[in-house]
Chain A
Amino acid sequence: MDLRLSLAIIMGKIISFLNKLTGSGATAAPGLYALKIDPHLVKKLTKKLRYGNIIISGTNGKTTTARLTSDIVSTKFRVVHNRQGSNLLRGIASTLISSSSLTGQNPANLGIWEVDEATLPQALENIEPQIIALLNLFRDQLDRYGEVDSIRKKWQTGLLSHGRGTTLILNADDPGISYLGKFFKGKITYFGIGEKKLNLPEISQVADVKHCLNCGQKLNYSTTLSSHLGHYTCPKCRFKRPKPDISASNLKFNSNFSTSIKLTVNGQLLFERYRDLTVNYSLPGLYNVYNVLAAVAIADQLKIDHTKIRQNLESFSAAFGRFQKVTIQGKSAAIFLIKNPTGANEVLRILSQKQNMSILAILNDKIADGRDVSWIWDTNWEILTTKIKRISVSGTRAWDLATRIKYAGMKMSKNNVYENIDYSITKSIGNLSTIDTLIILPTYTAMLEVQKSLARLGGQKWHKD
C-alpha cells in the first residue's frame, strides 16, 4: 500500500467533505491540498484506470467535446471525467479523489480529462494518455495565457515525450494544430470539415495563423471556414491541410439553433468501414461541428458502435451555459457563452441569420473572463446592425461594451446600459414580448450570474449536470 497516496486521498476527501458542509463550491481545493502531500497523485491514480485516459484540450469547445465524448463512450466504459470543467491539474486530482477508495482503487475504467491549454504540458507529464485530442488554438485572454505561438511551442515539447501506444487526434482545418503532427511519433487521426462553402454569412474575422509554421510563407486558403480554420496549402514548402479521417459535410444550420451534418468516418475501423451518417443534434454553429467531429473521432478510436454514437449525439444537450434555451414567466430566452473573439464571432454569425432580435450582452472583466476587454474590438458586432430590435448591455464592463456596440452602428443609449446583471435580466425579460426570444450573450463569470438570476426568476432547469 502506498501510504503517501492514501494520506493524500484522505486529506482530499476530508477537504471535500468540509466543503460540502460549508456549501463551498471550491471544486479544485481537495486536489490542490492532496497534491501537496503526494505530487504524483494524478500519475498514480490515472495509471490504475484499466482502459486508460483521454486528454482533450484547445481554446474553444473542450467542455462540450469532453461531455459529448463522455456521454458516448459511457455506453461501453465506466467513465471518470472532470465534468464540472475544473480543468487544471488540481481539478483532475479532485475528480480522481472523489471517485477513488482510500487505497486509490477506482470503480471507473476510463478517464476523460478536459485540460486547460496552459496546463496541457503539465497534464502530459502526469498522465500517460491513450488518446490526446487537440481542437484548436485561438487568441484568448492574452493577459492570462499569453500569445497563441507561445502556447503552441509548449505543446510541441509536451507531445515529443509521447508516442507509442498513444493516438493523437488533431483538427486538420487549424494549421496551428495540424502542424503539431510533426512533433509526434505515434498514430495520428485528423478531423475536419469537407465543405467548400457554408450556408452561413461571411464574417470578417481575426486569424492567429496566417503564415506557414514551417517556412514563414503566407498560407493560401482555398476555403476559409472560421478565423484561420479552413483548407490551406503553403505555396513554398509541403505543408498543407491533411486529409481528414473523420469529416463533416452537408452542414445545415437550422433556425431553432440545431444542426444537421453528414458524417463520414473512414478511419481504420475494423468492423465498419466507410460508413456515412447524417446526424441531427441540438447544438448551434460551426464551432460545435468541430466539437462533434472530435468526439466522434475519439469514440471511433475506442471502437464505439456507430449507432450508439449517433443516438448519443442526437440526445445531447449542451454543457452548462455554453448554449441553453430556457422559458421564464412564459417568455423564452437563449443563452450563448461568448468568451473570446473567435467564439463570439461564430455566435454572432449564427445570430445574424435572424431578424428583429432582442439582445442582452454582458461583459465582465473578472480573472476568469480575462481582465483585458480589448478583445471586444476584434468581434464583429457590425454583422448584427440591421438585425436588432433592441440591444442592452450589462456587466462590470458594460460601458465598454456599450461603446463597442455604438461604434458598430447600432442605437445605444444610456437607458440600455445596466451595470447590475440581475437587474438587467429582470428588465430585459420584462421588456420582452411573448413571441420574441431574448438572446443573452454573457462572458464566463457573467454566465454564472445569469444562471442564478434565471433560477431566481423561476426558469426551468434545462440541462443535466
Chain B
Amino acid sequence: MKYALNICHLYPDLMDTYGDRGNIITLVKRCQWRGIKTTLNHISVGDKLDPEKHDIYFFGGGQDRQQMIVGRDLQKKAKDLKKAIEQSSTLLAICGGYQLLQNYFKTLDGTMIKGIGLFDAHTLGSTTRMIQNLLVEINSELYSDITEIYPSTVNRELLTNLIGFENHSGKTYLDKGLKPLGKVIKGAGNNGEDKTEGAVYKNAFGCYLHGSLLPKNLHFADYLITKALKRRYGSVKLKPLDDSIEWQAHKAAIGKTRSRS
C-alpha cells in the first residue's frame, strides 16, 4: 500500500530562529526513505487552517517580536488547530511555539500574552536564561509506546532519552493533569525547578529541545510518523532504516552532558 502524509509547518517565516527547521527535514526524509509520500505546506499569518487536512504540525521557536505577531494571528486559528488535535493529528512545538500553545505567557514587565490553551500550562518570564544541553528521560507511557515501533534488536537503552539544547528565559509550569514529556536528567527543562520537561496532550508534544530535536532523536521522529500514519491508515509497521550515524549523534550529544555541566 502507498502511504502519504500531509505535513504542516506553522509560521515558518516567523518562527525560524533556532534551527528548528531540521525537524521538518527529518520528518520528510525519514518518510521519503520509506516510500511514504509527503506534502509539505506552510501556514502563516492570515492563512486559513483546515483542521482535517494535515497529519503532522510543526511549530518552532522565534524572536520575541515575531512571537508577538504570531501570538495575535494564532488566536484566529485556535479553534481549528485544537479541533485537529482532538481529531488525533500529531503536533510538535518547540520553545516559542510551545509557549504560544499554553494558556498564557506573562512577561517580566507583567504583559500578558494570551495563548490558545492547547496545553493546560503557563509560562512566566524570568531573569535567568536557561542555556545548555538538555537531557531528558522520556515519560514511561511514551517510552513503552516508542519501544513498540522498534524491533527488539534495537538497544532499549537508546530509546529512553531525548537530547537537545535549551535556550529560554520563560519558566513553564504545567497545571495538574497535564503530563510532561519527560524528566530532566541534565539541564533546566520547563522551569529549572520541578525537573519536568515539555508537555503531552493527546498527540501534541511541546518542549524546549532545539538541536534540532528530531535528527538525533530519530526514535521520537519515527514515533511521530507512526502516530500520523495511524490517524490515516490504522497501525502501520515502519520499515527499518540504517540509523547508525543518527544514533552516534544521539550518543555523542548525551556524552556532552556528562563530560561538562
Contact = CB atoms under 8 A, between A and B. Distances in A.
B14 A399 contact: no
B167 A403 contact: no
Contacts of A216: 69
A168 to B, nearest CB: 24
Given A148-B63, A374-B210, A374-B211, A143 B167 contact: yes
Contacts of A206: 16, 21
A406 B247 CA distance: 13
A400 interface: yes
Contacts of B69: 211, 216
Contact of B248 (A149, A375, A377, A414): A414
A374 B133 contact: no
Interface in B1-24: 13-14, 16-22
B219 interface: no
A210 interface: yes
A414 B243 CA distance: 11
Contact of A142 (B22, B26, B66, B167): B167
A377 B167 CA distance: 16
A273 interface: no
A143 B133 CA distance: 11
B17 A402 contact: no
B37 interface: no
Given A371-B165, A417-B248, A139 B26 contact: no
A417 B245 contact: yes
B20 A372 contact: no
Nearest to A382: B25
Contact of A400 (B20, B25, B249): B249
Contacts of B64: 147, 149-150
A399 B167 contact: no
Interface string B103-144: 000000000000000000000000001011100000000000
B58 to A, nearest CB: 13
A7 interface: no
Interface string A375-415: 11110000000000000000001111011101100001110
Interface in B52-102: 63-66, 69
A334 to B, nearest CB: 26
Contact of A374 (B165, B246, B252): B165
B19 A414 contact: no
B166 to A, nearest CB: 9
B17 A139 contact: yes
A149 B165 contact: no
A365 interface: yes
A149 B211 CA distance: 22
A348 to B, nearest CB: 15
Contacts of A413: 245
A373 interface: yes
A412 B245 contact: yes
B42 interface: no
Contacts, number: 102
Interface string B226-245: 00000000000000000011
Contact of A399 (B16, B132, B252): B252
A406 B22 CA distance: 12
Nearest to A376: B19
Contacts of B29: 407
A377 B20 contact: yes
A399 B248 contact: yes
B72 to A, nearest CB: 11
Contacts of A375: 19
Highest count of chain A CB atoms <10 Å: which of B211, B249, B251: B249
Interface in B124-174: 129, 131-133, 165, 167
Nearest to A365: B256
B215 interface: yes
A371 B131 CA distance: 9
B63 A377 contact: no
Nearest to A398: B252
A425 to B, nearest CB: 20
A400 B133 contact: no
Interface string A359-376: 000000100000111111
Contacts of A143: 131, 165, 167
B26 A407 contact: yes
Given A149-B63, A149-B64, A371-B133, A407 B249 contact: no
Nearest to B213: A374
Contacts of B244: 414
A372 B248 contact: no
B18 A400 contact: no
Interface in A197-224: 206, 208, 210-211, 216
A262 to B, nearest CB: 34
B212 interface: yes
Contact of B25 (A365, A372, A374, A407): A407
B16 A404 contact: no
A404 B215 contact: yes
Given A216-B69, A378-B19, A402-B249, 18 more contacts: A143-B165, A147-B17, A147-B63, A206-B16, A208-B63, A210-B13, A371-B133, A373-B165, A374-B22, A377-B19, A377-B22, A377-B212, A378-B16, A398-B252, A402-B245, A403-B246, A406-B245, A417-B248
24 contacts: A142-B17, A142-B18, A143-B167, A147-B17, A206-B21, A208-B63, A210-B14, A211-B65, A365-B256, A371-B131, A372-B131, A373-B211, A374-B20, A374-B212, A377-B19, A377-B21, A377-B215, A378-B16, A397-B252, A397-B253, A403-B245, A412-B245, A414-B244, A417-B248
Interface of A: 139, 142-143, 146-150, 206, 208, 210-211, 216, 341, 365, 371-378, 397-400, 402-404, 406-407, 412-414, 417
Closest 9 interchain pairs by CB? A374-B19, A377-B22, A399-B249, A377-B19, A372-B165, A147-B63, A399-B248, A374-B210, A399-B252
Interface of B: 13-14, 16-22, 25-26, 29, 63-66, 69, 129, 131-133, 165, 167, 210-212, 215-216, 244-246, 248-249, 251-253, 256
